[in-house]
Amino acid sequence: MNNFDPDKTYTVGVWRMTFFVYDDEADDHIRNEDGSVKEFYADNIDYMKWCMADGIDVDDLEEMSDEGC
């Protein structure tokens, strides 16, 4: 539960997004040595430009903990 002021207007944006790569021929994700899926990021992408958060309201959000989602 978030405590956003109901009398204010907010805009939701994307702060960080990770990607994975899928090897179509091997029918598997690219993996780290430990077997976990390797994650990638793209620093030069303006996510606000692509409206990645369109349709998301602050009431849809849950605050992340130190452990992640």
Please give the Cα distance from 39 to 22 (Å, whole number): 11
Q: 6-65 pLDDT, tens per residue?
A: 899 998 888 778 889 999 999 999 999 999 999 998 877 777 666 777 888 888 887 777
Please give the Cα distance from 7 to 66 (Å, whole number): 29
